Amino acid sequence: MTSSTTSDASVADDEAPRPPLPKLPRSTLNDSLLPELYKWSLSHGLMVYKENSTPNEATMVPLTAYPTPIPRKAFEAAIDVQLPFNQLYAKISTVGTDQESSFISKVSSKLAKSDPTFTGKLWTLQRKLFNQPSLQSFNLGIFRSDYLIDKTNFSSIKQVEFNTISVSFAGFSNKVAQLHSHLNRLGLYDPSGKNKQVYFDEVPVSNPANGFAKSMKKAIEFYSASSTYTTDRELVVAFIIQRNERNVFDQKCIEDELWESYGIKSIRLTFDDVVNELEYVKNDDERRLIVKRTGQEIAVVYYRTGYTFDDYISEKDWDARFFLEQSFAIKAPNLLTQLSGTKKIQQLLTDDKVLSQFIGDDEELRAKLNDTFVKIYPLDNTEMGEMGKKLATDPKLCENYVLKPQREGGGNNIYKKDIPKFLSTLNENEWDAYILMELIHNEPSLDNIICRNDEIFPLPILSELGIYGTIIFDDKGGIYYNHCPGWLLRSKFETSDEGGVVAGFGCLDSVFLY
């Protein structure tokens, strides 16, 4: 059975020229707009914990003062391909009966050799699972596909990456759009009242936090239906979180949606808590997972950690991950789905022959997905790999590329002229742990303002559009639920290479369409 929905976007078809953003004097910004922006943001929970702070110390998340213009055609193109991308990555994550010979297994096995301390550890856990009976056949994917808009063609989106674990800011995305609409309705973008900025009526608001919660509710239904046991225990969602998590309030939005919209409770656990507070139901061949203290049964394990090497500080953390993966709970994501999000998979999918393995003969769909790709090279001994090495080591040619590791987390990419120098510090047999990606040239927005740490920065910014996806699929490739619950816009200074918001590289933004 396959079910799909359209996105929550509802926009007009008529295209309009790009209008200018407001140009307010500094005194108006300081006296009117910014005080209201700060008050609204704080009263609506647009906050993160300060680094190394106590639970009582939080600060406003970095934001733009205005929504940023995004071409309608580009926005709709990104929405249009999300459901196919969900299905594509679900198929990649499915191994079938010949587990070790599947596409994801072959790729992961090779990556494990070039990145033994992280990808290799994930793959080792997965191989151990292959040697056990598969208890839970259903999987939950909560994804985000990130794009930049090609400045040579404003209707053309180019994929930066496809994220398969711990996608953030689903709870804040709609709040930032609501903030910008609120400021506009108050007239703070045009204090004179003479030239109302009516184009801000085109700020679309989605609610991805509710979409995430809905997918978890659906997953719980499949969990209950797939068990051979009946239970009177309370079924809950376990958020597996980082130690000293700073982005708590964004995550709490999803927890609130689970409870307020669907009556489902959630618990928050670090890997330490998993070891100390959870156990399998005794004499239970399904390995159902319960909380010792309360007796609650965990139906869904939702990872907001575990995506980077730094999240595993000891072997106990790896043991905790394996303990969760062995359980009957539905994982979001499981190990195979996490491994499908490596940069190597992204690179391989730019080969039409590889893409065709999963898309089949649907030429129109293949063309749509291919149109979002830029050139990505391996750094191995294949013909493409030799070309990648040539580009990466040439001091002039490398200026149009970024070197990316398999690992997530921000701050790990190497850009332009720094690539040859960085590669020279590695043994060449380690290069295969990286991919070389063509830079996407994005048109900066010149008139927006970033508000961060009580300061404002009226500097050119670049914006990245993220489209969320949720999907429930099984180990045989069946698709049971496929949805696009919304979007996210993040912006950064034009001069900054990285864009992580909590890490301090970027800020949250919202879309207006033209």
Query: What are the start-end ranges of the H helices in 166-230?
Result: 173-185, 208-226
Q: Is 395 annotated as a binding residue?
A: no
Q: Answer whether the bond into residue 20 is a cis peptide, omega within 30°.
A: no
Q: Taking 60 as the threshold, does the pLDDT of residue 12 lie above it?
A: no
Of the candidates 481, 493, 488, the one whose C-alpha atom is nearest the C-alpha of residue 509 is 488
Q: Taking 60 as the threshold, does the pLDDT of residue 2 lie above it?
A: no
Using CA atoms in the order 56, 174, 177, 158, what is the torsion angle rounded to 10 degrees?
Answer: 110
Question: Which whole number is the average pLDDT over 65-86?
Answer: 95
- Which region among 93-97, 116-120, 400-404, 493-497 has the lowest average model confidence (pLDDT)? 493-497
Q: Look at residue 205 in the predicted model and tell me its pLDDT.
A: 80
Does 18 or 101 have the greater pLDDT score? 101
Return the number of other C-beta atoms located less than 10 Å from residue 132's C-beta: 10
Per annotation, catalytic residue among 408, 463, 486, 506: 408
Question: Which whole number is the average pLDDT over 475-488?
Answer: 96
135 contacts 287 by C-beta, under 8 angstroms: yes
Q: What is the largest CA-CA distance in the chain?
A: 74
Per annotation, catalytic residue among 7, 41, 105, 144: 144
191 contacts 32 by C-beta, under 8 angstroms: yes
Distances (CA, A) of 333 to 106, 139, 164, 464: 19, 7, 7, 24
Q: Could you state, in order of their start, the residue ranges of all structural domains in the chain?
A: 26-439+453-513
| Residue 9 banded pLDDT, cuts 50, 70, 90 | very low
Q: Is 36 labeled as catalytic in the residue annotation?
A: no
Q: Is 163 labeled as catalytic in the residue annotation?
A: yes
What are the pLDDT digits (tens) for 130-168? Answer: 999 889 999 999 999 999 998 887 779 999 999 999 999
Q: Look at residue 505 in the predicted model and tell me its pLDDT.
A: 67
Q: Taking 70 as the threshold, does the pLDDT of residue 292 lie above it?
A: yes
Q: Taking 60 as the threshold, does the pLDDT of residue 7 lie above it?
A: no
Distances (CA, A) of 177 to 57, 63, 188, 453: 25, 11, 15, 20
Q: Look at residue 453 in the predicted model and tell me its pLDDT.
A: 82
| DSSP run (H or E) holding 507 | strand 506-509
Q: Look at residue 17 in the predicted model and tell me its pLDDT.
A: 63
Q: Is 404 labeled as catalytic in the residue annotation?
A: yes
Per annotation, catalytic residue among 409, 477, 478, 504: 409
Q: Is 151 labeled as catalytic in the residue annotation?
A: no
What are the pLDDT digits (tens) for 24-36? Answer: 899 999 999 999 9
Going by C-beta distance under 8 Å and a sequence separation of 6 or more, which residues neighbour residue 189? 22, 24, 33, 66, 183, 197, 200
Q: Is 194 labeled as catalytic in the residue annotation?
A: no
140 contacts 330 by C-beta, under 8 angstroms: yes
Question: Which whole number is the average pLDDT over 178-205?
Answer: 76
| Residue 14 banded pLDDT, cuts 50, 70, 90 | very low
Tell me the CB-side half-sphere exposure of residue 435, using CA atoms within 13 A. Answer: 21
Q: Is 144 labeled as catalytic in the residue annotation?
A: yes
